Amino acid sequence: MNILRKLFRNIPLLILTVLLLPTLIPAAWEGFSNLMDQLKGGDIAPFFTPSVQHWDPKIEAWAGIYDVDPNLLATVMQIESCGHPNVASHAGAQGLFQVMPFHFANGEVMLDPDTNAMRGATVLKECKAFVGDNIGMILACYNGGPSVASRPFTNWPAETQRYYLWGAGIYNDAYHQLPVSPTLTDWLNAGGRSLCDSAEAELGF
């Protein structure tokens, strides 16, 4: 009898639970999905310069196609071209991700943003396979080649040392979802601003 009384006393609670389940489960699933989206990266950090933000939809698409963190793609674009699609370096590196010509297949248009992104993402993934998950080392490999993994930091070229420090710092600020990146500000003040001015002029800002 005591068991029956307890059961009948809990019937209203059971009914309420059944009625609320259709609402609670979707809400819980939506919250879980939002959390997973945040963990996967989501949109690029808001502090990237306007000429990089201009490419945000493309960066998101490339990240999905090539399975590369969008903030890593944005970090490389920030340092390499600041979003200038037609820039070329004195060494011959081309386009948004400053990819060297030998990475392209015959007939590929190196300055085409989609092609340039494909080749840049491929190099990043090759570097990750070679050096592991350390973002700084991936970036150093992207700039200086895989041989940097076998040499101490002090023996790297000065350009690769700077690339490692700037890139790892900017990415770290993005990873921690900072609204402003002190590292990016330092990079701009150290000379990056002129590259971004050129990119903004090219994009018609």
Supply the residues annotated as catalytic: 80
Q: Could you tell me if 153 and 134 are in contact, meaning their C-beta atoms sit under 8 angstroms apart?
A: no
Task: Using the CB atoms, write b or e for 111-150: b if 16+ within 10 Å.
Answer: eebebbbbbbbebbeebbeebeeebbbbbbbbbbeeebbe
Torsion angle in degrees (nearest 10) through CA of 119, 188, 197, 157: -50
* Distance in angstroms (rounded) separating the CA atoms of residues 76 and 158: 18
Q: In this structure, which amino acid lies at residue 147?
A: S
- Give me the phi and psi of 68, to 5 degrees please: -125, 140
Q: Residues 7-39, buried b or exposed e (16+ Cβ, 10 A)? A: eeeeeeeeeeeeeeeeeeeeeeeeeeeeeeeee
